[in-house]
Amino acid sequence: MDVEFVECPPAGRRVVRARTVRLGDVTPSGRLRLDALARYLQDIATDDVDDAGITGAWVLRRVALRIGELPRFRDSVELETFCSGTGGRWAERRTSVRVDGEVRIETVALWVYVDAAGRPVPLEDWFFDLYGIAANDRRVSQRLRLPSPPEGVSGRTWVLRQTDLDVLGHVNNAIAWAAVEDELARTGVFAGARIGAAEMEYRAPLDAGDACELVTELIPGGVAYWLVAGGDVRAAVRLVEGSRGAGLG
């Protein structure tokens, strides 16, 4: 997975939060679910912009995970986040997840800044006043790189629920990971192994009432998923196997 995870800079804005892995965050075996991890990442990003007094909204474009070991039920986790790069209308956010001081997960995400109508708007001086030192003039692209599903591959129906919608009126980004978790449990793709890396791209919003299909394809060393509605890919996902061990659970 060709993704750069830059180190936390010695200076500049960074935010640290602690939380406990709760009952509603885990699989029956007790490991942190990917959709719960997505909420953790969303929450600390929201805390950062709220603490900074930023108005407007940010829409997730893509996120990549490098996973050593997923935390487990009742683990105390520490999340540290900072801005690691910018573009014209978007910014990159790095977040590290630690348990007992040990980094378990590294993440990098691209968020697009939008106005009240959901249109991307340019980053202005106020943003660079807050995040410019941490970003250190590093420029990042919003280019998407995951492929579309192969021609003729069918999937299964993925039913959207009212509880999947967030304040923007779209399906929350964490719900796409819930679909992944459901398919992993159904197929047992990573039985006897663990996820070493994962990447998701959000190409277009899913809305209430969309007839959604979840498409799956085995790939070398892992598995790919797509959420498709109206013939268009709304989210693309790739998971890569890590070293063999305790398994996903």
For every one of its 249 residues, what pLDDT tens digit does the chain have, with 9 covering 90 and above? 678 999 999 999 999 999 999 999 999 999 999 999 999 999 999 999 999 988 888 999 999 999 999 999 999 999 999 999 999 999 999 999 999 999 999 999 999 999 877 889 999 999 999 999 999 999 999 999 999 999 888 899 999 999 999 988 889 999 999 999 999 999 998 887 889 999 999 999 999 899 999 999 999 999 999 999 999 999 999 999 986 544 333
Equal CATH topology for 1-143 and 146-249: yes
For the domain covering 1-143, report its CATH number: 3.10.129.10
User: Measured between alpha carbons, how far is 116 from 168 in angstroms, rounded to an integer?
Assistant: 9
Cβ atoms 104, 62 nearer than 8 A: no
Cβ atoms 236, 146 nearer than 8 A: yes
pLDDT of residue 66: 97
- CA dist 65 → 8, 93, 198 (Å): 16, 12, 5
- Parse the chain into domains and list their residue ranges: 1-143, 146-249
pLDDT of residue 118: 81
- CA dist 33 → 63, 118, 190, 224 (Å): 16, 29, 14, 17
Read off φ and ψ for residue 15, nearest 5 degrees: -130, 135
CA atoms within 13 A on the CB side of 62: 18
Q: Are strands 212-219 and 232-241 parallel, antiparallel or unpaired?
A: unpaired
Say which DSSP state 99 is in.
E
Cβ atoms 205, 234 nearer than 8 A: yes
pLDDT of residue 179: 97
The arrangement of secondary structure in 146-249, i.e. its CATH architecture, is Roll (3.10)
User: Measured between alpha carbons, how far is 1 from 195 in angstroms, rounded to an integer?
Assistant: 13
Q: Please give the model's pTM, rounded to 2 decimal places.
A: 0.94
Say which DSSP state 73 is in.
T
Cβ atoms 108, 93 nearer than 8 A: yes
pLDDT of residue 245: 46
Kindly state the helix (H) or strand (E) to which residue 59 belongs, with its residue range. Answer: strand 57-67
Instruction: Tell me the one-letter amino acid at 121.
Output: V
User: Measured between alpha carbons, how far is 114 from 99 in angstroms, rounded to an integer?
Assistant: 34
